[in-house]
Amino acid sequence: MKLRLSDFVPPIVFKLLKPKNKEVVYSKLDSSGNLVSEPLSNILRKNESLKNIHSGKRCFIVGTGSSIKAQNLKLLKNDISMGLNEFFLHPDYNEIKPKYVIFSGFGIHNVPTEKQILWYQDYEKRIAGISTPIINICDYNYLSKNNLLITSGVKFIRYENNYDVILEEGIDASKNMYASQGVGAMAIQNAIYMGFKEIVLVGFDHDWLLRMFDSKPTHFYDHHTSIIYKGHREVEGITVQYQLQSLSKLFLNYIQLKKYADQKGVTIMNATEGGMLDVFPLVDFESLFKKK
């Protein structure tokens, strides 16, 4: 199967089919290995333990942009951080020890099943004892049926709401979060829900449009080390129009999140070296660790 970059970029809307007046249910393996129904409300209610768990603290959200190759991420080892998607491939992952790892989910990506299973098996081994995974609920049935991430304390988040109502309805991981164009916007929602007062973005390059023309990598890692990307060219099968639409939707997500954060007194800063993201104020990464 020939893969394209567009197969790995999550769409803005992932809607669950919800029967009218009925509780949405998912499949779950019981202790005997049988599939049983698990009500959505029960799954999401477990996220209440995350509400304001880090109230007033600082959080670093670390993406996988190529810029982090030039940054000293070991500085993060004494801070609370969240690693996005394949950040576990970073050579300093075991030293940084991100408290959380957030994955956008295969349910909204076109990746062959055999690769999904291999990826999750590898993912589980790498993060074990280090990070709590936070996964898009679109992968819940898949993970249960394949007996993956069962003992990791995984949290499942439902991203379905429209950002238009974020200022009125707020952010509540125990109910419903906002459908996002990228995992970075998903992570910011989770960080706000956890009560962080200061959120710093690192490795949010978002320069895929530029990389179409210069063929430079969009990730910090060599794609041969990635189960997902191994063997395919990053920009193959992608169009300028698709990239423009994708970036436009993603930046609109960020704009809405900034409005909500401002309303709640939460500061979001961008400590990425370079890149295209201009929604949040820029700050020098290393300056954040200098003693006053």
Spatial CB neighbours of 209, under 8 Å, sequence gap ≥ 6: 240, 243, 244, 247, 276
Residue 52, pLDDT score: 98
DSSP 167-220: HHH--BTTTBEE--SSHHHHHHHHHHHTT-SEEEEES----HHHHHHH---SSS
Residue 234, pLDDT score: 59
Residue 100, pLDDT score: 98
Spatial CB neighbours of 127, under 8 Å, sequence gap ≥ 6: 88, 101, 133, 152
- Work out how many domains the chain is built from and give that number: 1
Residues 225 and 26: their CA atoms lie apart, in Å, by 33
Residue 111, pLDDT score: 83
**Which of 123, 158, 116, 119 has the alpha carbon at shortest distance from 137?**
158
**Which of 179, 136, 173 has the alpha carbon at shortest distance from 154?**
136
Q: Is residue 257 in some structural domain?
A: yes
Q: Is residue 73 in some structural domain?
A: yes
What CATH number is associated with residue 165?
A: 3.90.1480
Residues 165 and 10: their CA atoms lie apart, in Å, by 21
Condensed to tens digits (0 to 9), the pLDDT of residues 30-60 reads 767 777 788 999 999 999 999 999 999 999 9
Sequence length of the chain is 292
Q: Is residue 275 in some structural domain?
A: yes
Q: Tokens 């003992």 map to which residue?
A: 151
Q: What's the CA dihedral at 170, 86, 149, 4 to 10 degrees?
A: 90
The residues of the chain scoring below 50 in pLDDT are 1-9, 11-21
Q: What CA–CA distances, in Å, run from 132 to 4, 50, 60, 97, 196?
A: 30, 11, 15, 10, 17
Q: Is residue 37 in some structural domain?
A: no
Name the amino acid, one letter, at 21.
N
Q: Is residue 35 in some structural domain?
A: no
- Burial 243-281, CB ≥16 within 10 A → b, else e: beebbebbbebbebbbebbeeeebebbbbbbebebebbe
Q: Is residue 28 in some structural domain?
A: no
**Which of 227, 62, 35, 259 has the alpha carbon at shortest distance from 163?**
259
Condensed to tens digits (0 to 9), the pLDDT of residues 109-144 reads 778 888 999 999 999 999 999 999 999 999 998 898
Q: Is the pTM of this model over 0.85?
A: yes
Residue 236, pLDDT score: 63
Residue 24, pLDDT score: 80
Q: Is residue 40 in some structural domain?
A: no
Q: Is residue 147 in some structural domain?
A: yes
Residue 283, pLDDT score: 97
Domain extent, residue 237, equals 5-21+50-289
